[in-house]
Structure 1
Amino acid sequence: MTVNPIFPAAVAADPVFLSDVREGFGGTRKTLSPKYFYDAAGSELFEAITALPEYYPTRTEIGILDARGPDIAALLPRHAALVEFGSGSTAKLRRLLRHLPDLAAYVPVDVSGEFLAEQAATLRHDFPGLTVAPVVADFTQHFALPESIAGTPRAGFFPGSTVGNFEPAEAEVLLRRFGEILGSGAFLVLGVDLVKETTRLEAAYDDAAGVTAAFNLNLLKRINRELGGDFDLDAFAHRAVFNREASRIEMHLVARSDQSVRIGGDGFSFREGESIHTENSYKYTLESFRTLAGRAGWQSVEAWTDAEALFSVHVLRRD
């Protein structure tokens, strides 16, 4: 393989992305953070995943939000600013907005600036009375909220079971950070996927149409485009498996053959069958998640599930 001639090794690259790739590929077990899924193409692919028949979390969570929207809204402070961490599509937000007529502001936070701007513009058009103040930031790191919401009661929104993409200890850190950003007395509404049978879980992350595979492989495409990599995407296969002992779905990109890849001037070797571990999605029980949230400084106020107990929506409060 040769270095991509359009994006050579000398190309100016995001130093954090490049550092994370070097660190992730330099160990005995190769890994890559799932936060790099969500460039513009990755965000669009994920939105496509949420509409797949195998992918139950989105439609199930929306069903809970539709059924329990008035109950959720009744627990949140009036005239609040709603901060959505990793906002993406506004489909779930709209389920809550209909029950929050006096919302002071909506603050979507996302790393994909282009996608964020598009969604914010659409929301302003559809809700002309709502103040929309987008923030381009990595929600896993500390960031500043807009000065315009200073002194306003705050609530966070973190749907989609994204909390499950973090190791439990990392999820605890993340929830604690959300609390620090939102401040004392804040509320947090979030989705949490629940433990269930293996076949249903694995099908949700390895759909028949191959959309999740394309989403996973987009990581390699992004490395090629942004870091001057020369991955052959056809040389890697998508794999999803439920690790019941760890209570998590694991996503991998598995090398189909022995190969070498160059990224940012560095060389990396892959053996046939070796994988890049790209994502974990932890599954919780109601009680195990309440315990985790409590360690992060959040008190459980209420939680709801669907009739099959596939998914849950929680309301938490920070003292």
Structure 2
Amino acid sequence: MITTGFGFDTTAQEVANTADLAGRRAIVTGGASGIGVETVRALATAGAEVTIAARDIDAGQRVATSLSRSTGNKRISVARLDLASQESVKAFARNWDGPLHLLINNAGVMATPFTRTPEGWELQFATNHFGHFTLTLGLFNSLRAEGARVVNVSSSAHLMSDVVFDDIHYAHREYERWQAYGQSKTANILFGVEAGARWSGEGITMNALMPGSIATNLQRHLTPEELQERIRQSGAAATRRLKTPEQGAATTLVVATTPLLDGISGRYFEDCNEAAPVSGGSHLRGVAPYAQDPEAAAQLWKVSEETLWSLKAA
């Protein structure tokens, strides 16, 4: 188990103060809102050149301008990325030039109404996993050129569902938005497990994390009543404190920068430290065995490649 000396109350800035990222280039998906903003801020403060990958270019530019002023780092830029659109993801990867040292797969959607993408994929899995899978593989040569870290922002919601390979996209079962979100977050963790097996000789590592419970735009598909009911059902009101966005981004910074993760992939972190295996059926803490199963990770990679290849053949 990897322990770092940081914890629940640590902020991203406190972690950044221990890192020197001068000369390093980073991409943060979803960097224009929520914990993404604080992730960009901390990386920029540590000296990195940061690209905010966002659907809303105007919002991204406002954030970039503000953070450039507050951090004194003028190397913050914006590029359009819509993870639900494979064409947008591929275009972003094609347009990237030069090395890449940190890819922070931060963006996502949560508990959306049942929606299919134009490809017929369930929206949460398409965005949270397929979008980042295509992006990461599209940037592979840039990542490999320098030896890099890929950081996948997952969630304790992975404890709600493994990846249901027989029906990922709800063709034959009733849609349940939290289960759908859960399996997409499990996929974020499994992605790193298989990347570690495949890329151990490429100088690229990939790990996942739970940022914590934070009030952000991620909850936009929930009414206040639905959000409170979800908290009540999970028991979080009694056992989990909310984090600020600054605290929520801290675990991302740890996974992106700590020397303790040099050469290590497939781990899952929460509150700035490696998570223990889940116990007692908790939906709050720990990592599920199925999220670190090498066979499931290999199957997910195979399914992901076959799904994306089918687009080329169509």
Normalised by the length of structure 2, the TM-score is 0.42
Q: Which has the higher helix share?
A: 2
Normalised by the length of structure 1, the TM-score is 0.41
